[in-house]
Structure 1
């Protein structure tokens, strides 16, 4: 289920209303299983039409083709509600969101460079009566210069109805729901899977209390360097002076990464040592892909702890100096 937020300002000036409407308009389409249904009074489902060769319903479009090939297929939109529903239907490119790597789809008005550009539906707008389904044929034309490997996109059915969702900063908000069915096309040619990790950084936020643990945040970037879809697993680890293990993080299973896409992973560390040298390493693996790793070094330094240690050393040096002075005085007094 996907949400489009629309703001409708309460104003009598049409120009201002249009500006505010543009500012509050956004679409985020997240991946959902094919045949997924939006719930509520305007419920509907979207899935590939027909069935696979074995008679089983297809969960998504998994297509293989050579450059220059034209593929014909269809998408089925079912109105599960008791009212007619109006839809905008379009092909779109998929991408990974930088923040968490989730699979998302581009808006209809955005530039499409892959599957979203190659898919042509017989119609992009339709009304489906209550309790009925509509099948929309489409053609996917693979360019003659298409690069080998995976090209991922989707077919989105956006409900034109706007549902009220409250107010924010004096603006009435509404939502539009959409469902995307994934289209994964593999273009014939050499397949070169690859994954790497970059920009490993450990940010330390020390405590203001001496010898008390602060907090730290580990960030690293995982990149799909090949031309196939991968599902990496990352294993971060931090060692201290003399190779002591300071922290072994739980292995993180990342979302599906598309070719050329990357995601930044963030991991919290609640009890780093107040003073140490940290060697942080991250290793990533994926099925059928050679593993890769990256590391970086940083100083875990809490000024309060360092000040306390320096003060303790200064007191110790002062005490030793006094002991030595007393010994010299005692020796001088001995006849």
Structure 2
């Protein structure tokens, strides 16, 4: 018995770590609360208890951490569990068996006591309870009977020794310590995995920063054997852009029918409109003893939309500003071209000679050259161009009056020829007008002497034109009055035209 106690104490820590990490220090919290009966029952205690449960044989612990064996359908096997009590008082432990499973972290666990087992947990038969003295250990045999119709593959289960600690009021806490019992039924073994992957893309508000991809994948053991795997996730944009491959979290142990999920976040992913994500997993044997034959790699893929929303908004805004700028530029160019065309039209209208009714002699052209521009604005006001169709009748009237006044004035004044010569010098038009006064009937016809150029008068004018010689004559009062009337009429017509333009 002393040798059994020594061996149990040496292996207590490893057995406790299998199911209840807090069992050595005291009573571990149960998976589900249960009611404390009014009378003492197996496994009910009122103080802290420390204990361990290890597999063994009829002599005690045999160094195994759990029971794992291969059996044919209908085969039966006897095993032993060793319950050690490290407390200072005798404790009665409750013994249970249940279906087993692996957690997401790869740790083995059993179904809670309030859930009924349906698989390998029902194949195990063991006593309801065992009493262990203080500081002692008890060896408890149990049997495993494989049904004749058991399906090939791995079937996890577990055995445990538990206590129910009394708490405040009518609530107690069940704590269990045990080990797993793995039974592999012979037959057609299949190592198969089913993968699934999903993902989403989250872009950055800053159009000059990349976004991130969040991938969630699931791996299900669709075969009938325990396996492990190390999934890989590959990403690629359109035409293989930004292709990369990353490793997912290793799955150390997954039983048949179980599913493991993993999450992978990829930062620094630019929005390339589309990403192809693929998860790949290959079944691997858990141990060298449990070989996996015919294992095939499986994969699944998904397309993830990665729209460059912030980049598109920035691009649209930039294109809008560019379109507005180009439109404003075209409008300014069109406006400038229109103003230039209007100025050219005004210039052509101003430089074109006016159309005069009737025959107009050189004198009319001379007088017209002295007239001020018709589109000249009055002093002190803006320059308003006069349209040609509005100015034509008024210009004819004024021009006719001025020509008549100039003709009468030339007939009445002997200095008219000199003024015409001066006008030619200003306008560059060489006009030669020779006017001979009518002979007096009462006077005697005498030859008119040819006037000689004065020594003080140039013999040629500008441009080589010979100036007209001055002619003498007296002032006719009637012609002078008629010329004044015509001049006054021309001025009045000009004033009327100006008023009409306003």
Q: Does 1:79 align with 2:81?
A: no
CA contact (8 A) 2:249 2:262 kept: no
Normalising by the residue count of structure 2, what TM-score does the alignment of the two structures yield? 0.52
What's the offset of the Cα at 1:131?
1.2
**More helix by percentage:** 2
CA contact (8 A) 2:67 2:182 kept: yes
Question: 1:176 and 1:221 mapped to 2: Cα distance?
Answer: 33
What's the offset of the Cα at 1:216?
3.8
**Partner residue, 1:307:** 313
Higher-RCO chain (CA-CA 8 Å, sequence separation at least 6): 1
Question: 2:226 and 2:260 mapped to 1: Cα distance?
Answer: 14
CA contact (8 A) 2:32 2:114 kept: no
Within 5 Å, give how 1:177-256 maps onto structure 2. 177-198=175-196, 200-245=197-242, 248-256=245-253
CA contact (8 A) 1:275 1:306 kept: no
CA contact (8 A) 2:55 2:62 kept: no
Question: 2:116 and 2:220 mapped to 1: Cα distance?
Answer: 23
Question: 1:275 and 1:155 mapped to 2: Cα distance?
Answer: 54
**Partner residue, 1:44:** 51
CA contact (8 A) 2:125 2:142 kept: yes
Unaligned stretches of 5+ residues in structure 1: 9-17, 22-39, 165-170
* Cα pair distance change 1:183/1:320, threshold 3 Å: farther
Root-mean-square deviation (CA), in Å?
3.5
CA contact (8 A) 1:195 1:226 kept: yes
Bigger CA drift: 129-138 or 240-249? 240-249
Q: Does 1:120 align with 2:118?
A: no
Report SS of the residue matched to 1:256: strand
Equivalenced residue count is: 295
Question: 1:127 and 1:295 mapped to 2: Cα distance?
Answer: 56
Bigger CA drift: 207-216 or 177-186? 207-216
Bigger CA drift: 155-164 or 82-91? 155-164
CA contact (8 A) 1:219 1:266 kept: yes
Bigger CA drift: 261-270 or 181-190? 261-270
Within 5 Å, give how 1:68-107 maps onto structure 2. 68-97=74-103, 103-107=108-112
What's the offset of the Cα at 1:58?
1.4
